[in-house]
């Protein structure tokens, strides 16, 4: 009897141990499945790889770019959330936003010029990259590069104007480049006068054409003198035809004087004159451009933008050694002639719905911290250490570091496209 009892106790113990073992095994299997699920979700949420064969990127840098490559606004857009006919996306404030800014890492853009590659040129601070523009009274969609590429599928974008529009082209090309494999991107650069970025899978292109006056400047005119032809568009205009999105600017070169003035003579109506009020010459040129748009742009197919003056920071508002935006509306007094701005606004306003005025002047005026200053290139050469110690002679307070302010210009360009499409959907 004692032996049978001992055997029974052992069987009970084995049965109990087996039962406990089964529970433990089932628990482990379940945890393994959960780990698989979590791992899968982690892969979905990881930032898109940045493609540049010559660069190795740290995990910190890749993580920094994650927000621009996840579908926050690229998903099905809530029309009721973003559509507000009373919203002015150009009026607002800069907000420190290190979690989502900048929108890309400048080191992944192999075509970024030395003129605006501030980090590559030795700028020691990065805080200027971490500010985001917020509009008053509405939400601006964050620029999603993949969504923008989808919107541009099969389309041409042309950006025409001076070096500030070239600044904008470099920004937009970098924004789109970070969203695709490098093997699917083509970049062709011919000095500073023509640049094109193509995304092959999307069959789209972003092209830059150098034309600081929009009208023709003949550099070897009568007697070797430079003639600004006010009633004739620049030669590159023949390549503007057929574009789906056009972004123009002019104004900065019109106010140059002395040695940096680009022309010697004006020509208008077949007559060559040496002297003319700049406002009169500028207005004739703007009307020449507006006439071309009215005559050559198919308004149901093409969206035309005219970008406003990009603020310089010179004199009392000097940009050197600034590290954060100004928050005071009264702290900046523009040195740019108001008459030129007024003519541009009047011309664009008179074109009705044909042209959208991309008014980036106010948001740019707060950002004297975001210029290249001495971390730039002059005449194609990066400033030497000795030149960097002479900011009064070499600081660039006109162009913008990238990543930087022009990314916001392109974000507002993107927002304009989103809002237009959303309104169409909302009203159809």
pLDDT in tens, 201-239: 999 999 999 999 999 999 876 678 999 999 999 999 999
The upper half-sphere exposure of residue 63, i.e. CA atoms within 13 Å in the direction of its Cβ, equals 6
Exposure of 47 by Cβ count < 10 A (0-12 exposed, 13-18 middle, 19+ buried)? middle
> pLDDT by residue (tens digit) across 16-44?
556 565 555 554 444 444 333 323 223 32
Is the CB of residue 220 less than 8 Å from the CB of residue 180? no
Q: Which helix (H) or strand (E) holds 206?
A: strand 204-210
**Residue ranges in 46-76 assigned as alpha helix (H):** 59-69
Exposure of 168 by Cβ count < 10 A (0-12 exposed, 13-18 middle, 19+ buried)? buried
Among candidate residues 68, 396, 407, 422, the one labeled active-site is 396
What average pLDDT does the segment 335-359 reach?
93
In 3D, which of 315, 402, 331 has the Cα closest to residue 366?
331
Strand partners of residue 194: 190, 209
pTM higher than 0.95, yes or no?
A: no
> What distance in Å separates the CA atoms of residue 324 and residue 409, rounded to the nearest whole number?
18
> pLDDT by residue (tens digit) across 87-110?
789 999 999 999 999 999 999 998
More confident residue, 353 or 278: 278
* Model pLDDT, residue 81: 43
**Residue ranges in 79-137 assigned as alpha helix (H):** 79-82
Exposure of 353 by Cβ count < 10 A (0-12 exposed, 13-18 middle, 19+ buried)? exposed
Among candidate residues 68, 132, 163, 211, the one labeled active-site is 163
In 3D, which of 281, 284, 211 has the Cα closest to residue 246?
211
Is the CB of residue 157 less than 8 Å from the CB of residue 204? yes
> What distance in Å separates the CA atoms of residue 269 and residue 249, rounded to the nearest whole number?
24
Among candidate residues 132, 236, 399, 407, the one labeled active-site is 399
- Supply 390's token pair: 């002479």
Is the CB of residue 127 less than 8 Å from the CB of residue 323? yes
> What distance in Å separates the CA atoms of residue 79 and residue 88, rounded to the nearest whole number?
17
In 3D, which of 300, 150, 157 has the Cα closest to residue 240?
157
In the chain, % of residues over pLDDT 90: 66
Question: How far, in whole angstroms, is CA 93 from its chain's centroid?
Answer: 18
399 is catalytic: yes
In the chain, % of residues over pLDDT 70: 76
> What distance in Å separates the CA atoms of residue 361 and residue 409, rounded to the nearest whole number?
10
* Model pLDDT, residue 52: 35
Tell me the pLDDT band of 146, cut-offs 50, 70 and 90. very high
- Supply 332's token pair: 């900046």
Strands (E), 234-342: 245-248, 265-268, 271-273, 303-307
> What distance in Å separates the CA atoms of residue 300 and residue 242, rounded to the nearest whole number?
12
In 3D, which of 199, 209, 89 has the Cα closest to residue 152?
199
Q: How many CB atoms lie within 10 A of CB 55?
A: 13
**Mean pLDDT for all residues in the chain:** 82
* Model pLDDT, residue 420: 76
Is the CB of residue 286 less than 8 Å from the CB of residue 279? no
> What distance in Å separates the CA atoms of residue 113 and residue 307, rounded to the nearest whole number?
21
163 is catalytic: yes
* Model pLDDT, residue 191: 81
Query: In 3-state terms, what secondary structure has residue 87?
Result: coil
Please compute Rg for the chain using Cα positions.
Answer: 28
Q: Which helix (H) or strand (E) holds 136?
A: strand 131-136
Tell me the pLDDT band of 171, cut-offs 50, 70 and 90. very high
241 is catalytic: no
- Supply 186's token pair: 């083509």
């Amino acid at each position: 009897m004692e032996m049978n009892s001992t055997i029974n106790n052992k069987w009970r113990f084995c049965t109990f141990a087996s039962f406990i073992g089964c529970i433990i095994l089932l628990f482990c299997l379940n945890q393994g499945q959960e780990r698989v699920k979590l791992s899968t979700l982690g892969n979905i949420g990881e930032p898109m790889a940045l493609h540049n064969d010559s660069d190795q990127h740290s995990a910190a840098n890749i993580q920094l770019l994650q927000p621009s490559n996840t579908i926050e606004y690229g998903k099905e857009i809530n029309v009721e959330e973003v559509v507000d006919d009373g919203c002015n996306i150009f009026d607002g404030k800069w907000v420190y936003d290190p979690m989502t800014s900048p929108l890309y890492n400048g080191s992944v853009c192999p075509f970024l010029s030395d003129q605006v590659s501030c980090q590559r040129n030795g700028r020691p601070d990065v805080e200027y990259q971490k500010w985001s523009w917020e509009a008053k009274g509405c939400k601006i969609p964050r620029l999603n590069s993949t969504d923008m590429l989808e919107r541009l599928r099969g389309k041409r974008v042309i950006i025409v104007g001076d070096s500030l529009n070239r600044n904008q082209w470099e920004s937009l090309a970098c924004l789109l480049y970070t969203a695709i494999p490098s093997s699917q991107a083509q970049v062709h650069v011919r000095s500073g006068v023509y640049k094109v970025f193509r995304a092959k899978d999307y069959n789209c292109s972003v092209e830059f054409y150098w034309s600081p006056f929009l009208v023709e400047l003949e550099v070897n005119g009568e007697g070797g003198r430079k003639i600004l032809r006010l009633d004739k568009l620049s030669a590159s205009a023949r390549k503007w035809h057929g574009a789906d999105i056009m972004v123009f600017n002019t104004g900065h070169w019109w106010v140059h004087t002395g040695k940096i003035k680009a022309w010697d003579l004006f020509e208008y109506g077949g007559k060559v004159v040496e002297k003319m009020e700049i406002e009169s010459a500028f207005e004739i040129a703007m009307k020449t451009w507006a006439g071309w748009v009215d005559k050559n742009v198919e308004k149901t197919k093409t969206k035309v933008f005219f970008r406003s003056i990009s603020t310089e920071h010179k004199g009392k508002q000097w940009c050197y050694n600034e590290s954060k935006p100004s928050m005071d509306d009264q702290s900046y007094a523009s040195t740019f002639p108001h008459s030129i701005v007024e003519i541009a606004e009047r011309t664009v306003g008179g074109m009705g719905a044909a042209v959208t005025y991309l008014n980036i002047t106010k948001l740019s005026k707060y950002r004297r911290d975001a210029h290249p200053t001495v971390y730039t290139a002059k005449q194609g050469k990066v400033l030497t250490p000795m030149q960097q110690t002479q900011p009064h002679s070499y600081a660039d307070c006109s162009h913008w570091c990238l990543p930087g302010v022009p990314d916001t210009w392109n974000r507002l360009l993107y927002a304009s496209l989103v809002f237009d499409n959303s309104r169409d959907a909302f009203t159809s």
